[in-house]
């Protein structure tokens, strides 16, 4: 997901964005769908085709705000040539990189009472708009987290544990995700505007993660009501190259950096973590490293245990760097 929003943040970021209206909404808007994108071009066509088939309830006015975060491909052409029978469309350009900035520009350009978010690699079901937003519009919730399924062609037998979580799987009805997951989430505009702006160092285009998680935490701390509707599930069509060992190691590093940024945002004075903390991870990391090497040699498959321990080793380093006033890992 992306970022956010206090009024100050939206005005600041939105002022730098170019708001180019493709079709102006007529009258009050009930739901604003916000999608941030960059260089997705042709794959975006299928995403928009599914969105265009989503049902808009009678009497609802729904707009789509597409925020282009500095694309160099045919993204604008794809948006402008896609037919949306039930949606008003706005195309917004936010050239400054980072999803937090792009999302803030989208919020500033939107006018819906409910804000509905997904990503540019997600296919939504026909009931998506109504089922995600009705609880908000009828006063039963301030934020809604929907389900997220991995597209069938991307499923792998070994894709479990943290590996599944790292590709944004939200499927277990017994265990809601922490905070929110931006591939399928909605919130009340007034609630979004009441919480602090998100850190622009988080999210895609920056550290890569946790901007949506932090938003969910902020809403919860402020006393807003969040509900989990796993049955309202979207399908995540991420790039297949995210399933490689190299990609998962990069994810582990970026998640550790993002986690350290979030922890540093509390303003609490920290002492460098003791070396013993890392050494306790060493035996497990060594065993899992051997397992990973075996799987690499035999089947070239990532190992969830190794990746988890690798993440904790990088996080230890990032916490130590933060405590010593050093710059985050780049």
Count other Cβ atoms within 10 Å, centred on residue 123: 18
pLDDT score recorded for residue 235: 98
Distances (CA, A) of 240 to 99, 163, 250: 21, 13, 15
Provide DSSP, 8-42.
HHHHHHHHHSEEEESS---S--SEEEEEEESS-TT
Dist CA 235 CA 313 (whole Å): 32
pLDDT at 149: 97
Per-residue pLDDT of the chain (330 residues; tens, 9 = 90+): 333 333 333 333 344 455 554 444 567 899 999 999 999 989 999 999 999 999 999 999 999 999 999 999 999 999 999 989 899 999 999 999 999 999 999 999 999 999 999 999 999 999 999 999 999 999 999 999 999 999 999 999 999 999 999 999 999 998 899 999 999 999 999 999 999 988 999 999 999 999 999 999 999 999 999 999 999 999 999 999 999 999 999 999 999 999 988 888 655 555 666 666 666 766 766 776 777 677 666 777 888 888 888 898 888 888 888 777 776 654
Q: Hey, what domains does the chain have and what are their CATH numbers?
A: 7-240 (3.90.550.10), 244-323 (no CATH)
Q: pTM for the whole thing? A: 0.86
Helices (H), 167-244: 189-194, 211-221
What is the structure's pLDDT at 153? Answer: 97
How far apart CA 287 and CA 300 sit, in angstroms, is: 17
180 CB-contact burial (10 Å; exposed 0-12 / middle 13-18 / buried 19+): buried
Q: Give the separation between CA 157 and CA 204, rounded to whole angstroms.
A: 27
Q: In this structure, what are the phi and psi dihedrals at residue 110, rounded to the nearest 5 degrees? A: -90, 170
d(CA 7, CA 226): 21
Please give the full DSSP string across 42-74, using - where no structure is assigned. THHHHHHHHHHHS---TT--EEEEEEE-S--SS
């Amino acid at each position: 997901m992306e970022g956010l929003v206090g009024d100050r943040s939206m005005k600041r970021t939105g002022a730098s964005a170019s708001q180019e209206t493709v079709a102006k909404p007529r009258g009050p808007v009930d739901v604003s769908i916000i999608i941030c994108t960059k260089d997705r071009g042709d794959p975006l066509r299928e995403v928009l085709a599914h969105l265009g088939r989503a049902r808009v309830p009678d009497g609802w006015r729904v707009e789509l705000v597409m925020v282009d975060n500095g694309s160099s491909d045919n993204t604008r052409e794809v948006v402008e040539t896609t037919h949306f029978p039930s949606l008003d469309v706005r195309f917004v350009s936010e050239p400054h990189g980072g999803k937090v900035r792009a999302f803030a520009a989208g919020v500033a350009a939107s006018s819906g009472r409910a804000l509905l978010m997904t990503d540019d690699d997600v296919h939504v079901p026909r009931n998506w708009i109504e089922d995600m937003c009705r609880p908000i519009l009828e006063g039963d919730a301030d934020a809604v987290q929907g389900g997220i399924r991995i597209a069938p062609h991307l499923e792998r037998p070994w894709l479990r544990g943290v590996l599944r979580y790292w590709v944004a799987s939200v499927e277990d009805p017994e265990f809601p995700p922490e905070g929110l997951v931006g591939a399928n989430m909605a919130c009340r505009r007034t609630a979004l505007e009441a919480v602090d702006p998100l850190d622009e160092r988080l999210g895609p285009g920056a550290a890569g993660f946790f901007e949506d998680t932090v938003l969910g935490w902020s809403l919860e701390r402020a006393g807003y009501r969040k509900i989990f509707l796993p049955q309202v599930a979207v399908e995540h069509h991420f790039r297949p190259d995210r399933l490689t060992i190299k990609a998962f190691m990069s994810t582990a590093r970026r998640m550790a950096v993002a986690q350290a940024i979030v922890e540093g945002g509390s303003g609490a004075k920290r002492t460098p973590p003791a070396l013993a903390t890392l050494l306790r991870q060493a035996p497990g990391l060594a065993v899992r490293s051997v397992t990973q090497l075996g799987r690499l040699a035999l089947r070239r498959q990532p190992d969830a245990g190794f990746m988890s321990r690798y993440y904790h080793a990088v996080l230890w380093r990032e916490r130590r760097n933060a405590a010593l006033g050093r710059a985050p890992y780049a």
